[in-house]
Amino acid sequence: MADAMTETDRFTKEREGMVEFQIRSRGIRDERVLAAMRKIPRHLFVPKGLERAAYEDRPLPIGEGQTISQPYIVAVMTENLELQPESRVLEIGAGSGYQAAILAELAGSVVSIERLDSLAGRARGNLARAGITSVRIVIGDGTEGYPPGAPYDAIIITAASPSIPQPLIDQLAEGGRLIAPIGPKDCQDLVKLVKRDGRVETTSLGGVCFVPLIGEFGWSGEDL
């Protein structure tokens, strides 16, 4: 069957559709972001049995009550980080490792913190299967940041917090960008913070719904 589509071809085609109809059509213009999302095989970052849903326009469960974000939200957050090839990036909430893989395509170095051992292990495995070796997954409470790699040009929090953890603001470089969902536990405001002359400016990018950030400067486990 010369014209049979392999599974890999099918995923590639679905990924192109995802970029055109979910992401570009909604206003994402940064060609580097679009190229990264066209390249990274998202189906390698979802649990077994959910691969066929990997390119759908929604978040998916990744175990432990956590989720891999909707592709469009990954694109919005990534575009707003304004990454350069030499950027140093910190992610809080590695989850599946998918967002970290996209960041690794666009930046110089990526550290991603995950509080759950099981997910950190899975993120490492997923990244290895996708051939990505430049992400460092660290187990711990990301609300405290990761001082050994500071300052960071960009920080992305992929879990919801009542406010922006101060240690992360402190670890942001001058001119750096931080993106985070801030607000109540169910749904939040996606906030962009820029540090200029030692001061912070914040703008809102719209409404989102993320799982909670649990830690010293986020929600306490007992609040949930």
The catalytic residues are 69
State yes or no: residue 167 binds ligand SAH (CB under 6 A).
no
Q: CB-wise, 167 or 176, nearer to ligand SAH?
A: 167
Q: CB-wise, 5 or 178, nearer to ligand SAH?
A: 178
Q: Tokens 């998202």 map to which residue? A: 42
State yes or no: residue 159 binds ligand SAH (CB under 6 A).
yes
CA 123, CA 100: separation in Å to the nearest integer? 9
Please name the residues in contact with 99: beta carbons below 8 A apart, sequence gap of 6 or more: 69, 74, 77, 78, 91, 112, 156, 158
Count interface residues toward ligand SAH (CB under 6 A).
26
Q: How far apart, in Å, are the Cα atoms of 110 and each of 153, 202, 215? A: 11, 23, 21
Task: In angstroms, give the least distance from the CB of 144 to ligand SAH.
Answer: 8
Select the residue interacting with ligand SAH from 142, 167, 176, 183 (CB under 6 A). Answer: 142
Task: In angstroms, give the least distance from the CB of 69 to ligand SAH.
Answer: 6
For the chain, the 3-state helix, strand and coil shares in percent, each to the nearest 5, are 35, 30, 35
| 41 C-beta neighbours (distance < 10 Å), count | 18
What residues from 67 to 96 belong to the interface with ligand SAH (CB under 6 A)?
Answer: 67-69, 92-93, 95-96
What residues from 104 to 123 belong to the interface with ligand SAH (CB under 6 A)?
Answer: 113-116, 119
Query: From residue 184 to residue 223, what is the string marking binding to ligand SAH with x (rule CB under 6 A)?
Result: ---------------------------x-xxx--x-----
Q: Could you tell me the two tokens for 107?
A: 């930046």
Q: CB-wise, 174 or 223, nearer to ligand SAH?
A: 223
Name residue 20's amino acid. E
Q: Could you tell me the two tokens for 130?
A: 């996708």
Task: In angstroms, give the least distance from the CB of 100 to ligand SAH.
Answer: 7
CA 103, CA 97: separation in Å to the nearest integer? 10
What is the rounded (10 degree) CA torsion for 32, 33, 38, 43? 140
Binding site for ligand SAH (CB under 6 A): 62, 66-69, 92-93, 95-96, 98-99, 113-116, 119, 141-143, 158-159, 211, 213-215, 218
